[in-house]
Structure 1
C-alpha cells in the first residue's frame, strides 16, 4: 500500500536570527536530522539523542550555481512515503520503504532533498537547468563524534582496485589528508554502527573520503580525465599477469563532472544501526537507486565454477589441464552433474587487446555448444578497455557466441568517464540479455537495482589475495559483511578447500590456501551475498568432499527473507536466510572461539529437520549431523576460531 502526504506549509520550522532550521525525523522517531541555514547549509544527525554526525556542511560549486546559493532564499516542503519495494533478486523478496522527506527549493532552479528513514539519512542536490552544467567541486562533510572507532579503508590515490582492509583505528591516529574509500564505517562512543556511502551514481564521479583536521571526514572526487595511458598495475606486475595493463589518468580537467543541468545528483547516504547485527539488514543504497527501465525477467542468478583461482589445477584427469577445450568441458560436466548454473572462462582465452585472436588450444564454440547441451551457461572474462575499443561489435560478438554473461575487469577508477562507461555497458548488455560481473570495480551504488543484470560486483579484498598477499585474514572476513556487503552484492569468491593457520600461511600463486577453514568457507555462501557466487577452488577438490559438494550444489544465491541473528564486527556473525521452504543459517568466527545461542523463533509451527555442517577432527574436515526441532527451540553451538557452521532447516 502506497501512502504519500505533502505539506506545503513550512512546518517544523524555527526561525533563527541569522537563518532558518528544520527538523526531520525518521518514521519511528529514533533518528533526528537538523538542517540549518545560517552562514552555510549544514546538517546533523542523532539516534536516541546520541550524536551520529555533528554539524557538517553541504554545498556544490558549479558553472550554474555557487556554494553560497545553498543558504539563500528558499521555500520548504515536507512529504512522507511508505511503500513495499519488490526485488527481482537479492537478500529478500520485498523491502518496506518508509521515510519522511524535506525539500529545500531555491529560486534559481536549485533544490536539496533530505530523507530520514528508520535505517538512516540521505540527501542529494537537484538542479533544473536546460543547459550543460560543469561541477567544479562538491562539499559533503561528515563530522563524526569524538572518540569514535573508525574503519578507515585507506588508499594511496584515485587509481585503485578498491580492495582494502577495514582496520579499526582512532581518528587521532589517521594523518590529515589521508585518502579513503567509501563505504566508510565507524562506531560511535554510544555504540551505534554507521556506514557512509552513496547511491544512484550517474554522470558523476564516485565518492572517496579524506581525513581532515579533528574528527572531520570530507568527500573528495577524482577530476575528469583529460589524457589516459595504458600502464602496468602495481598489484600484479610481480606475479603472473605481466601482460595486463590498465588505463591510467595522466592529465585531468579542472572539474569533476559535466552533464546536462536538468538532473538529480547522487545521494549521500548515512546508514545507522543501534548494534552491529542491525546494519546487516540495511537496504538504503538499494532503495535510493532508480528503478529499472526495462524488463529483466530473463536474469537468472546462480553459482559459477571458476578456473583462475586454482590455476586450472585439475588432479587425476586423463588430459593435461589448462586453458584448453578438455579442461572447460570437464568443468561443464562438473557443473551439470552438480546443479551449478555457470562456468567461467577467465584470462587467457584470447589476446587481451584483440578478442579475435583466440587461444589456439581453445574451441570457444565447441565449449559453449557443449555447455548449452548440458544446461550450463558460460561467463567470459574481458578487460573493460578492450571492450571499449570496438564497443558495439564486441558486445555483439559475445551475444552471438552465446555466452550468458561477461566478467569485466580492471576498471580501477571511479571518475565520471568510468562511471559513464559502466552505466553504458550495463544498459547495452541488458539489451542483449547479457549478465555482468564487474571486477576491479568501485563499490555498488544501487546500480544492481537499476540494472539487475549486474549480478555481482567485486570492490572487495577477496579470496584471490591468498595467491599474492597475506591480507585476506580471519578478521577481514568478519569485517566486510558489516560494511562492504551492506551496500550491495559482493564477489568475494568463496569456496577454498585448502586451509592453513595465519602463522603457517605463505602466499602461493599455484597452490593458494585460505586462513579460515573449510567450515567457514561453506558458511560464506550464506553470510556473503551476490547474484552469482563463485566456487573458487578446483572441481577435483570438491569431488573429494561429498559434504561440501552436496551443500554447494544446493545452496541458493538469492533469498526471500534475511534475518541477522547476531554479529560483532571483526569477531563473529550469524545470518539466517530463507529460500522456498528452507532456512539456511551461516555462522562465522574470526580469531576467537564463540558460543552462538540461536533462538529459532523465525520458524512456523511445524516440526523441522535441522541439518548441521560443522568442523570435524581436522581443519579441512566437515561433519554432518541432523535432528528434529520445533519453533522457539533454542540451539547453542560452540564454534572454534577461524571456523564456521552451516545449519539447514527444512
Structure 2
C-alpha cells in the first residue's frame, strides 16, 4: 500500500503532461502478488506482468490499426496517469457464488498522438489478487464521431516456453467445438487461431489463462502465435473487407484478461470476469429461476411403446412433462421430433427456410395446451429455436412465447462472434428479459462475464460436449478434464449431461438413439458439480433413470451456488470442486482415463459436524462403469477422505451440516 501511494504522489508532485520515454507506470494487486508495468518506448508502448516478483509476461507491444489514419501507437505521449482503488461488491443471480467482494487497484493511462490527427486512446488497467485486465477506451475528442477498427494489436510475450492447453480453429466461423491440444508454446503452428480461454503453465507451476470480459458491441478475440509472442486476432465483420469494429465515440474494447495463480484452482474459483462486467441491467430478477431441464433430442426422442404415436404432438411432450414433474426437474424442452422442428419451417431438417415461423406450431401441436398442462404439473416449458428463424421476428415471437407461458429457450447455430453477432445476442437477451424469458445459447462463443449483466442468460455452449457421443466422436474423461481447465474458466458451460449408459472404450459404438457414453456413472454425476451451469441437462430417456443407482443424486444436486472451492486440481490428471448451497456442500471429483487414489482434505468445510452421502466407483467400475457404491458416514473439517477413482472415474459427496 505504501509503495502504491508513493507512486501516486510522485505523479501528483511532478505533474508533467508527458513522461520520459522509459518512465514506467506500475500497478500492484491489493495483496502485492501481481504487478503490472507500462511504459512508452521509442517505437510502441509496452507492458509487462510479474507474479511474486517473477517476470511472466515480457515487454509486450500494444497498438491499434484504424481505417481513419495510420496505426495508433507510434509517436505517442503518456499523460498523467490517474490511480484509484475499488472493490466489486455485488450479488449474482446465477453462477459459482452468490455474494462477491473483490478488491482491485486501477490506473487510467491516457495516450495521445504527438503528430498527425492527435488522437487519444486511454488504457484502463485493473489488477486483482487473482489476475489483471486492461481495455482500450476511446473518449469523445474534437469533431470525431465514429471510428473503424481494422485490427487490434494486443500481444502477450510470455516468458520462456510455457505449456499450452488450447483449442485450435480453422477460421472465425465456428461453433467452438473442438478438442484441446497440450504442447509447448513454441510448437504452436504460426498464425493458427487459438480459442480462449487458453491455459499456460510455467515450469515452476505458475498458471496463467488468457480470455476476455464484457464483450459488448465489439468483435470476439482469438490468439495466434506470431514469432515468439501471441497476438490478438479479431473476428471480422461479414463481407466488410477486413473491418473488425465500427462504433461511435465514446467506445471501448472488452477487457483483455489474464487470470493468474500458483494453483489452477485459483483460476477456476475466480470471479474476475463478472467483476469486469457491467452491473445487472434487469431491474426485477424475481422471475429468473434456474434449474435442470430434460432434452429428449439427445436420447433420440425415446418414448414408451404404448398407445400413443410418438411425434410432434401433445402426448409425446406430456410423457416427458410427467417425468419431470415426478422427479423434481423444473423444465421440459419442446424441440420437435425425428429431426423436424416444432414450428412451421420450409427448410431442411432443423435448418430454417425462407418462410420459417416460430410463432406457428406445426399442425397437431397445441403449444397453449402443453404450457397449461405443464404449469398444472409445476413444470416450466422451454423451446428450441434456430436463431435465423427467431431473429427476423424477435419481438413478435417473444410476445407470443410469453402469452403461451413459455419460460425460456435454446437459441442454436449462432456459429459466429463478429461484432454483428455479438450485438444480435445482446439484443436477444434484452428482448427476452422484457418478456421474462431465459436464454441458452448453443453453437455460440464463450461467456465473457455477462451473466452478471443479463442473468436471464443461463448458459452457453462453445465447447465439444456429449452430443458428439451420438455420432461416433465420443467425449472422453480426458476431454472433460481439459474443458474444466479451459472453457470452464469463462463461465457456465452447456453440456448434454446425464447419459446413464456408460461403457468401456472398447465397447463404445455410435448410437443416435439411446447413446453410449465413456467414463463411469460416478464421473457423469460429478460433472454436475464440476461444471458451472444454471441449466443442467437431464438428457437421457425416463426409463434410463428410473430405479437406477445415482439418479437420487442427480435429482437433488443444485444448479446455482453460494460458494465455490477447488481443493484438488492437476491439469490432465484430476479435479475436485466443492460447491456450497445454503448449509449443504456438494463435492465432485473426476479423473482422466487413468485410475487414481487421491487424498481429499475437507479443510474447505466451515467448523462443524457433517453427514456425508458418498457415491463412489464400485470396485469393478473399470469393467462395469455403471456400477457404483453409495455409503454414508460422519465427517468433520479435519478429516481426509481417500478417493479410489476408477479409470475415467469419479465420485460425488453430499455433505449436510448436523449441528
TM-score under structure 2 length normalisation: 0.90
Change (3 A) 1:382 1:10: same
Q: Distance in 2 between matches of 1:94 and 1:80?
A: 20
Deviation at 1:106, TM superposition (A): 3.5
**Which residue is 2:342 aligned to?**
349
Structure 1 residues 214-253: aligned runs within 5 Å: 214=228, 216-225=229-238, 251-253=239-241
The answer on whether the counterparts of 1:283 and 1:487 sit within 8 Å (CA) in structure 2 is: no
The answer on whether the counterparts of 1:41 and 1:70 sit within 8 Å (CA) in structure 2 is: no
Change (3 A) 1:643 1:503: same
**Which residue is 1:110 aligned to?**
121
Matched, 1:431 2:434: yes
2:653 to 627, 637, 647: 647
**Which residue is 1:630 aligned to?**
636
The answer on whether the counterparts of 1:577 and 1:584 sit within 8 Å (CA) in structure 2 is: yes
Q: Distance in 1 between matches of 2:207 and 2:433?
A: 36
Q: Distance in 1 between matches of 2:47 and 2:532?
A: 33
Q: Distance in 1 between matches of 2:150 and 2:584?
A: 52
**Which residue is 2:191 aligned to?**
177
The answer on whether the counterparts of 1:9 and 1:77 sit within 8 Å (CA) in structure 2 is: no
For residue 503 of structure 1, give the secondary structure of its aligned residue in structure 2.
helix
For residue 595 of structure 1, give the secondary structure of its aligned residue in structure 2.
strand
Q: Distance in 2 between matches of 1:318 and 1:642?
A: 40
Q: Distance in 1 between matches of 2:35 and 2:216?
A: 29
**Which residue is 1:464 aligned to?**
467
**Which residue is 2:415 aligned to?**
412
**Which residue is 1:46 aligned to?**
50
| CA deviation string 1:173-219 (max 9, x = no partner) | 322121121112211122112111111111111111212123x1111
Deviation at 1:83, TM superposition (A): 4.3
Q: Distance in 2 between matches of 1:8 and 1:328?
A: 68
Deviation at 1:471, TM superposition (A): 5.0
Q: Distance in 2 between matches of 1:574 and 1:11?
A: 48
Q: Distance in 1 between matches of 2:286 and 2:581?
A: 19
**Which residue is 1:521 aligned to?**
524
| CA deviation string 1:591-617 (max 9, x = no partner) | 112223222233344332110112234
Q: Distance in 2 between matches of 1:70 and 1:308?
A: 58
Matched, 1:260 2:218: no
Change (3 A) 1:356 1:634: closer
**Which residue is 1:124 aligned to?**
135
Q: Distance in 1 between matches of 2:527 and 2:306?
A: 29
Change (3 A) 1:123 1:83: closer
Q: Distance in 1 between matches of 2:78 and 2:600?
A: 55
The answer on whether the counterparts of 1:286 and 1:487 sit within 8 Å (CA) in structure 2 is: no
**Which residue is 2:98 aligned to?**
93
Change (3 A) 1:12 1:100: farther
Deviation at 1:501, TM superposition (A): 2.0
2:479 to 476, 479, 486: 476
For residue 423 of structure 1, give the secondary structure of its aligned residue in structure 2.
helix
Q: Distance in 1 between matches of 2:88 and 2:446?
A: 27
Deviation at 1:418, TM superposition (A): 0.2
Q: Tell which deviates more after alignment, 570-579 or 126-135.
A: 126-135
Change (3 A) 1:317 1:142: farther
Deviation at 1:22, TM superposition (A): 1.4
Change (3 A) 1:70 1:524: farther
The answer on whether the counterparts of 1:85 and 1:97 sit within 8 Å (CA) in structure 2 is: no
The answer on whether the counterparts of 1:34 and 1:44 sit within 8 Å (CA) in structure 2 is: yes
Q: Tell which deviates more after alignment, 273-282 or 106-115.
A: 106-115
**Which residue is 2:349 aligned to?**
none
The answer on whether the counterparts of 1:9 and 1:76 sit within 8 Å (CA) in structure 2 is: no
**Which residue is 2:151 aligned to?**
137
Q: Distance in 2 between matches of 1:362 and 1:548?
A: 34
| CA deviation string 1:2-56 (max 9, x = no partner) | xx99957527999986342111111111111111211211111121233322221
**Which residue is 1:337 aligned to?**
326
The answer on whether the counterparts of 1:59 and 1:70 sit within 8 Å (CA) in structure 2 is: no
The answer on whether the counterparts of 2:19 and 2:78 sit within 8 Å (CA) in structure 1 is: no
For residue 370 of structure 2, give the secondary structure of its aligned residue in structure 1.
helix
**Which residue is 2:166 aligned to?**
152
Structure 1 residues 172-571: aligned runs within 5 Å: 172-214=186-228, 216-225=229-238, 251-295=239-283, 296-315=285-304, 317-347=306-336, 348-350=341-343, 351=345, 352=352, 353-470=356-473, 472-545=475-548, 547-571=549-573
**Which residue is 1:236 aligned to?**
none
For residue 28 of structure 1, give the secondary structure of its aligned residue in structure 2.
coil
| CA deviation string 1:424-466 (max 9, x = no partner) | 1111111111100000000001121110000111111111011
Deviation at 1:361, TM superposition (A): 4.3
Change (3 A) 1:262 1:551: same
For residue 330 of structure 1, give the secondary structure of its aligned residue in structure 2.
helix
Q: Distance in 1 between matches of 2:519 and 2:365?
A: 35
**Which residue is 2:115 aligned to?**
none
* Structure 2: gaps of 5 or more residues: 113-118, 346-351
Q: Distance in 1 between matches of 2:474 and 2:294?
A: 24
Change (3 A) 1:177 1:388: same
**Which residue is 1:234 aligned to?**
none
Deviation at 1:76, TM superposition (A): 0.7
**Which residue is 1:10 aligned to?**
11
For residue 510 of structure 1, give the secondary structure of its aligned residue in structure 2.
coil
For residue 315 of structure 2, give the secondary structure of its aligned residue in structure 1.
helix
Change (3 A) 1:264 1:252: closer
Q: Tell which deviates more after alignment, 49-58 or 533-542.
A: 49-58
For residue 544 of structure 2, give the secondary structure of its aligned residue in structure 1.
helix
Change (3 A) 1:541 1:44: same
Deviation at 1:85, TM superposition (A): 2.5
Q: Distance in 1 between matches of 2:304 and 2:122?
A: 62
Deviation at 1:92, TM superposition (A): 1.0
Q: Distance in 2 between matches of 1:356 and 1:276?
A: 46
Matched, 1:587 2:598: no
Q: Distance in 2 between matches of 1:213 and 1:322?
A: 56
TM-score under structure 1 length normalisation: 0.91
The answer on whether the counterparts of 1:110 and 1:125 sit within 8 Å (CA) in structure 2 is: yes
**Which residue is 2:64 aligned to?**
60
Deviation at 1:311, TM superposition (A): 0.9
Q: Distance in 2 between matches of 1:275 and 1:607?
A: 28
The number of residue pairs the alignment matches comes to 620
Change (3 A) 1:8 1:313: farther
